[in-house]
Structure formats: structure tokens, C-alpha cells
Amino acid sequence: MKFSISFDDIKEASKRIHTYIHRTPILTSQAINQQINAQLYFKCENFQKVGAFKMRGASNAVLQVSEEEKKRGVATHSSGNHGQAIAAIAKQLKIPAYVVMPSNTPKIKKEAVAGYGAQIIECEPTLQNREKVLNEILKKTDAIFIHPYNDDRIITGQATAALELLNEIQNVDYIFAPVGGGGLISGTALAAHFISPSTQVVGVEPELANDAYRSLQTKILQPAVPTQTIADGLRGALGTKTFPIIQQLVKEIICVSEEEIIQAMKLIMQRIKIVVEPSAAVPLAGILKEKERFKNKKIGVILSGGNLDLSKLTQF
């Protein structure tokens, strides 16, 4: 198998970004292990800077932009964590950042991006309008576009979470990661492929956003369908760079219901006492759904982020 990303690329990314990110802890829960009858190791990217693994890829990409280009700034479209991550790394490097955000993005996410000093440009919440508005910004500012996932630098950066996990925990049978645009799972699969080829990488996605599942089944990249899945970080479709990696390295994608996602999220909050966003609970939902198959296995789980909208704590 040949990939455009090498083991050296991932190791270099890890060095490149290490002062810009947190090395996140790996937590375990006796109660969850007992419930599943397996050993789970949660890589806690909810504790990552900006509250999500996206800081890894964004840092790795922006740090590789040339000095001349940095002056022009960086731009992206994102309703969520990637936008925050681009804004945060741009702030650290003191360069301009432009983030195109759908007008229906929760206020708290807009405030977070604005808090890092990035300029927010609102667009209508459709794919077409988002790309149109982004292109206008790129034309106007000459900024460098950093795609949220369909970019080797992003995929390589996201791979560093699994790199850390597999360096710390030996003989992992499975790694579970959520599937949105595929940046995290393709990076995870590459890291496992290079470090621990016997480790199987399993993707989990919401039934309401099962484009990756359908893409693997049909062997044709499927577009996203409009969805309101609670796992808002996973609404996007795979990209032309992530799909081929996933096709080669990810044997299986499990799809989970909204209710299963909610139950997994509550289980994490109740038992590990950490805040995770719905997207981050999707892998555990997959394990719980098929727990008989994973009995006595050693399983790494990438908890992708912790940016839960606390306004949903409505009784408080």
C-alpha cells in the first residue's frame, strides 16, 4: 500500500506542533470496562487546546505555510472546532484568520472564534453558499485556504493523537474513532498502519450521517445528505483525500442511532466525569452496540472533543 503520508511525516508533525498543543491524557474507567468486559483507553482530546483534536491538524497545516503566505493570513469554512483551531493557531502566530461560518452556527461557537481575534464571515447554511462566500474572501484577501480535512497536512496532524496513544499503550487490538470528513480516522488509520499494523481501526458514524458507511459499501464517494444529527461535528462527507485512505485501512464502519450517541455521552460524563460533545461519544456508542464482539479486547478510543453546548443544560 502506498500513501502520500509517511510515518516520518507523522513523526515530524508531532515535533512541529508539540509546543502548540497539549499532550492529552489517556483515561480509563473501571465501570465502563466492566460494562463492556474489555479494556478501554480514552485518548482525551476534549482536553486539547480549543477543546478538540482539530488543533493538531490546524497547527500542522498553518505552521507549514510560508512566511510570505502567512502575512496574507489563513482562511477556512467551519461551523465548529476546525474554525476555532485555525483562529487559535493564527493568533499564536500573529497572522490574520478568516472563518466562514453558517449563519445558524450556535452563538457560543462564533464567540469562541471571535475570541481568538479571527474575522468571522457569515454565510447561508448551504454547501454552495459556504463555498461561494469562502471564494469571495480568498479573492479579496489572498489568504491561504486550509480545508478542514481534505488536506494531507491536516490528516497528518490528526494522526498524532493515535501516535501518542499507541506509543503509550501497547498491544492495542482496536482503535475507534468517529467519522465526519474523515481527517481524524484516516490519520488514525495511518498511524496504526505504521506503528501497530495488527491494530484494527474501526470508524463509527451516526446513522443520520452515514455517508462513509455508504461510500465504503458502494466503493464510490457518497455526498453528505442534509442532517440534523446531534453529532454536529460529523455531518460532513468524506473527501477525495480521506476516502482512499479509509478504503484501504479501515475495515469497518459501525453506524449508531441518536439515542445510542446520547446514552454513550451520558455514560462518559457519568463515569469518567469529563465533558464530551456528542460527536466524541460516537465511538463508544459503536462499541456498546456491538459489545459482544469486543469482549476482552484492548481498545483505544479517540474522544474527539469537549465543546458541548451547555445551554442544553436547560434546568440549570
- 284 membership: H or E segment, kind and range: helix 278-289
Q: 48: which residues sit within 8 A by CB, 6+ positions away?
A: 21, 22, 24, 55, 56, 305
Q: Which of 14, 29, 49, 54 is catalytic?
A: 54
| CB-nearer residue toward a copy of itself: 88 or 201 | 88
279 is catalytic: no
| CB-nearer residue toward a copy of itself: 51 or 182 | 51
Dihedral of CA 150/153/155/158: which sign? Answer: negative
Closest CA to 210 of 188, 179, 176, 243: 179
The least distance separating a copy of itself from the CB of residue 47, rounded to whole angstroms, comes to 6
How far apart are the C-alpha atoms of 281 and 1, rounded to whole Å?
Answer: 31
The least distance separating a copy of itself from the CB of residue 17, rounded to whole angstroms, comes to 18
How far apart are the C-alpha atoms of 295 and 103, rounded to whole Å?
Answer: 45
The least distance separating a copy of itself from the CB of residue 49, rounded to whole angstroms, comes to 9
| CB-nearer residue toward a copy of itself: 136 or 259 | 259
How far apart are the C-alpha atoms of 141 and 73, rounded to whole Å?
Answer: 8
The least distance separating a copy of itself from the CB of residue 226, rounded to whole angstroms, comes to 21
Sheet of 97-102, strands arranged across? 119-123, 97-102, 74-77, 144-145
Binding site for a copy of itself (CB under 8 A): 46-47, 51, 230, 262, 265-266, 269-270, 273-276, 278, 306, 308, 310, 312-316
DSSP state of 175: E
- Look up cell 508531532; give the residue: 14
Q: Which of 14, 29, 79, 279 is catalytic?
A: 79
| CB-nearer residue toward a copy of itself: 165 or 230 | 230
| CB-nearer residue toward a copy of itself: 220 or 313 | 313
CB-based contact 78:180 (threshold 8 Å): no
User: Please, which residues bridge with residue 99 across strands?
Assistant: 76, 120
79 is catalytic: yes
| CB-nearer residue toward a copy of itself: 113 or 250 | 113
The least distance separating a copy of itself from the CB of residue 268, rounded to whole angstroms, comes to 9
The least distance separating a copy of itself from the CB of residue 312, rounded to whole angstroms, comes to 4
How far apart are the C-alpha atoms of 37 and 29, rounded to whole Å?
Answer: 12
Active site residues: 54, 79
